[in-house]
Amino acid sequence: MKPRIVELKSKQLLGINQKMSLIDNKTFELWKNFRQRSNDILNKSSQDFISLQVYPEGYFETFSPAKKFVKWACVEVNVIEDISTDFQNLIIEGGLYAVFDYKGTVESAPAFFQYIYGEWISKSDYILDDRPHFEVLGDKYKNNDPASEEEIWIPIKTK
């Protein structure tokens, strides 16, 4: 499970977001709402969907599944214009990311994330950076299918 280290350029995203916690997880409702309206978004730069989390500072230092964060369901766009009031825009600033390829179901994902945050980060030459974490759900993504594939992007900086 060795990641690719990628220098990400700034990205413009358009989507919807909701505050939640791991205990009060509203991901299903967020994505259901977004998918129903995502065809209304113009100027998509790809057909990929992006599931993105904005964690408050210190979220991982004193972890609690009750801590709130903001989750986004979104797509990348080339330009932001004619924004419907139904959508918000977000810019991901460029920087280093560790990109992990994940294959599996939602049920097996917590163990994968535990490896990233509990083992890989501490043994690597990097620490977490305070930027959005996100998953790219491309053409190989099949919701909750064991053969589903996605990319997990973790913001990092050198120690």
Q: What are the residue ranges spanned by the domains of the chain?
A: 4-158
- 4-158 domain in CATH 3.20.20.10? no
pLDDT digits (tens, 9 = 90+) for 119-143: 999 999 999 999 999 999 999 999 8
Q: Where are the beta strands (DSSP E) in the chain?
A: 4-8, 11-20, 49-54, 69-76, 88-92, 95-103, 126-128, 133-137, 149-158
Contacts 24+ apart (CB under 8 A), 1-5: 1/100, 1/112, 1/115, 1/120, 3/98, 3/99, 3/100, 3/120, 3/154, 4/98, 4/99, 5/96, 5/97, 5/98, 5/99, 5/126, 5/156
Residue 63 is predicted with a pLDDT of 80
Residue 98 is predicted with a pLDDT of 98
Comparing 5 with 143, the larger pLDDT belongs to 5
- Report whether pLDDT(84) > 80: no
Distance CA 124, CA 31 (A): 33
Distance CA 144, CA 134 (A): 17
The encoded tokens of residue 49 equal 């969907």
Residue 51 contacts residue 35 (beta carbons within 8 Å) = no
- Report whether pLDDT(93) > 90: yes
Q: pTM higher than 0.85 for the full model?
A: yes
pLDDT digits (tens, 9 = 90+) for 22-77: 999 999 999 999 998 898 888 899 999 999 999 998 898 888 899 999 999 999 99
- Report whether pLDDT(82) > 70: no
The encoded tokens of residue 46 equal 């790809």
